Structure 1
Amino acid sequence: MSTEAFPKTARLLNARDYKPVFDHSRYKVSNKHFLFLATASQARRPRIGLVIAKKHIPKAVQRNRLKRALREAFRLHQANIPLIDIVVLARKDADKLPPVELRSMINKLIDDIITREARDTKEKDKKATRQQETLHK
């Protein structure tokens, strides 16, 4: 099976999956058009959930276009994404972006989350190493 597939196990499917991300989001990355929330996951792979409100994006065609672009970006990045659950909320006028700009913006936000998580993991590892050193002295 391809590592770039997008199976059901890579998606947040119900309220029980979304709730921890909304309640305990560890990372928040945003711009004018999107808000990405992320938290550590107990799943075996990174997962994504999309919240594209009809209030912000009234036309179904545009909502579906955004969802396709978000899923595709996640699918292509998932090999680099750590074990986290990500919820993406689209803001008003996100559907007005040209396709190239939309892809670029989504990629930047995903890269920001990956960078933040890597930085936090590195800091945790350093802290754990220091604690181990003090215990062995």
Structure 2
Amino acid sequence: MDLGFGREKRLLTPQQFKAVFDSATHKVSSKHVLLLARDNQLEHPRLGLVIGKKSVKLAVERNRIKRQIRESFRHNQSILTGVDCVIVARRGIADLSNIELRQQFDKMWKRLARQRLAADQANSTGQTNA
């Protein structure tokens, strides 16, 4: 499995972000973060980050948070195939240590994977009854 984070693994255009915001099929949230996701038709997941100056004042902190999120995403992308994710940071996220950030995101990816699995199972059982 390729653990890289090349251009193909990123949401790059405003349209790609808008698609996730407008039609997110999955939501995972915590006190500091909102994760929105929707299925894409690709074999790999893609990630977009929204970490504004309003929620994290210092550029050095925003960059640290992005680094931790990307690293966690890289290590968990095997359970996230075929999904576009947008992470929206909330106030207070800068107070978390690197370890706390990684733990929180590792949990969020697993919650998202479970949500998607449950939705897939519900869809497949719903189709057999029809």
TM-score (normalizing by structure 1): 0.90
Q: Which AA in structure 2 matches 1:124?
A: N
Separation of aligned partners in 1, 2:42 and 2:61: 30
Separation of aligned partners in 2, 1:43 and 1:16: 17
Secondary structure of the corresponding residue to residue 44 of structure 2: coil
Secondary structure of the corresponding residue to residue 53 of structure 1: coil
Q: Which AA in structure 2 matches 1:102?
A: L
| 1:43 CA displacement | 3.0
Aligned to 2:115: 116
Equivalent residues of 1:21, 1:86 under 8 A apart:
yes
| 1:126 CA displacement | 1.4
Separation of aligned partners in 2, 1:5 and 1:90: 23
RMSD: 1.1
Secondary structure of the corresponding residue to residue 50 of structure 1: strand
Secondary structure of the corresponding residue to residue 78 of structure 1: helix
Separation of aligned partners in 1, 2:125 and 2:3: 32
Q: Which AA in structure 2 matches 1:117?
A: R
Instruction: Please list, as runs of the form range in 1=range in 2, the aligned pairs for 1:15-54 lying within 5 A after superposition.
Output: 15-54=14-53
Separation of aligned partners in 2, 1:98 and 1:65: 10
Secondary structure of the corresponding residue to residue 4 of structure 2: coil
Separation of aligned partners in 1, 2:43 and 2:10: 12
Aligned to 1:59: 58
Structure 1 alignment gaps of length 5 or more: 132-137
Larger radius of gyration: 1
1:60-92, Cα deviation, whole Å (9 max, x unpaired): 100000000110111111111131100000111
Corresponding position: 1:84 with 2:83: yes
Instruction: Please list, as runs of the form range in 1=range in 2, the aligned pairs for 1:93-104 lying within 5 A after superposition.
Output: 93-104=92-103
Equivalent residues of 1:82, 1:114 under 8 A apart:
no
TM-score (normalizing by structure 2): 0.95
Equivalent residues of 1:80, 1:114 under 8 A apart:
yes
Separation of aligned partners in 1, 2:42 and 2:82: 7
Separation of aligned partners in 2, 1:122 and 1:61: 42
Aligned to 1:129: 128
Structure 2 alignment gaps of length 5 or more: none
